[in-house]
């Protein structure tokens, strides 16, 4: 696509997207002049899209060390998190966030051999890599709105049970309002597969006034008659909307740096996931 006098490649920011995020990437007041921030962000997005090593960054994005150091600094100071909070806020202000249903699910990502071997101790402990049936994996637990756009996520090792992360993911759903008022945190309906079927999860949603569309596991179904209990009702029409989960994961994994974990540090891989989620919100 051609914008003005230069070509915007498919993984780069459009003018409309840049206008949304530029205010949160303000240059520092002191120090040496900052390289063109849009050029740097486009270089980071190129790495996210291709999964290539930072040293292979094309020259059009500037020195690879500059781009990597900016990525590392913005990962540490929460810049990517602020961007992901800001853009959905703008969408919610115009009614573009679908709060009628939120879908929760997880996906396992195979960790590359280069992702193993991070130094132990300090803040680097627990790099969200665990050994499961598929080898070393990282698991992304994600909540999406009715249009398949990510609202919140957590990272864990691949051998962590999905039910253990349901409440942490739901607690991260928080979109502030542009004006006065409390942040929006509660959808009307939550849809999840039978891996999330538990009394604790259903009770938690009931306390918050949220309807659950979660099928029961076969062991739960067989156990209820013995206890004199009736089965939980499942709204099958609502449950069909869970397909937005798979579509969202499919779009996220188009980014090769996310489809395979190459980063030794969990905070860097988390930043890549945050950027991939942000791209689904940008125009």
Over the stretch 1-57, which tens digit does the pLDDT of each residue have? 444 444 567 789 999 999 999 988 866 555 555 568 999 999 999 999 999 999 999
194 touches 215 (CB < 8 A): yes
pLDDT digit string (tens) for 124-164? 446 888 887 778 899 999 999 999 999 999 999 988 999 99
pLDDT in tens, 248-257: 999 999 999 9
User: How much of the chain, in percent, has pLDDT values that exceed 70?
Assistant: 87
User: What local confidence, expressed as pLDDT, does residue 5 receive?
Assistant: 41
Q: Closest Cα to residue 107, out of 51, 164, 153, 174? A: 153
Q: Structural domains in the chain?
A: 2-22+35-77 (no CATH), 99-262 (3.30.420)
Mean pLDDT estimate for the chain: 86
pLDDT given for residue 213 in this prediction: 93
pLDDT tier, 63 (very low <50, low <70, confident <90, very high otherwise): very high
- With bands split at pLDDT 50, 70 and 90, how would you rate the model's confidence at 123? very low
**Location of structure tokens 């806020």:** 89
Q: What is the CA radius of gyration of the chain?
A: 21
**Following DSSP, what letter does each residue of the chain receive, concatenated?**
-EETTEE--TTSPPHHHHHHHGGGGPPPSSSSPPP-HHHHHHHHHHHHHH---GGG--GGG--HHHHHHHHHHHHHTTHHHHHHHHHHHHHHHTT-S--S-EEEEEEEEEEPGGGS-PPPSGGGS--S-EEETTEEEEEEEEEE-TTS-EEEEEEEETTS-GGGGHHHHHHT--B--SSSSPPB---SEEE--GGG--HHHHHHHHHTT-EEE-PPPHHHHHHHHHHT-PPPP--HHHHGGGHHHHHHHHHHTTSHHHHEE--SSHHHHHHHHHHHHHHHH--
Full-model pTM: 0.88
C-alpha–C-alpha distance, residues 279 and 283, integer Å: 8
For the segment 207-220, the average pLDDT, to the nearest whole number, is 89
């Amino acid at each position: 696509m051609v914008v003005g006098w230069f070509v915007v490649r498919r993984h780069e920011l459009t003018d409309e997207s840049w206008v949304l995020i530029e205010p949160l990437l303000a240059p520092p007041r002191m120090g040496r002049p900052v390289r063109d921030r849009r050029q740097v962000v486009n270089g980071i997005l190129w790495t996210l899209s291709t999964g290539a090593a930072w040293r292979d960054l094309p020259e059009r994005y500037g020195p690879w060390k500059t781009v990597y150091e900016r990525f590392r600094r913005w990962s540490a100071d929460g810049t990517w998190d602020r961007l992901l909070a800001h853009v959905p806020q703008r969408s919610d202000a115009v009614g573009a966030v679908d709060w009628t249903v939120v879908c929760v699910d997880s996906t396992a990502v195979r960790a590359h051999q280069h992702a193993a071997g991070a130094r132990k101790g300090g803040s680097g402990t627990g790099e969200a890599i665990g050994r499961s049936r598929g080898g070393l994996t990282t698991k992304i637990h994600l909540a999406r709105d009715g249009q398949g756009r990510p609202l919140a996520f957590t990272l864990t090792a691949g051998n962590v049970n999905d039910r253990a992360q349901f409440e942490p993911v739901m607690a991260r759903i928080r979109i502030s309002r542009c004006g006065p008022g409390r942040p929006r945190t509660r959808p009307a309906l939550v849809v999840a597969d039978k891996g999330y079927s538990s009394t604790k999860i259903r009770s938690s949603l009931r306390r918050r006034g949220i309807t659950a569309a979660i099928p029961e596991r076969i062991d739960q179904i067989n156990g209820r008659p013995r206890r004199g209990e009736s089965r939980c009702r499942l709204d099958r029409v609502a449950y069909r909307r869970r397909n937005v989960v798979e579509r969202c994961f499919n779009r996220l994994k188009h980014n090769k740096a996310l489809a395979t974990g190459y980063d030794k540090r969990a905070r860097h891989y988390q930043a890549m996931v945050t950027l991939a989620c942000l791209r689904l919100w940008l125009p």
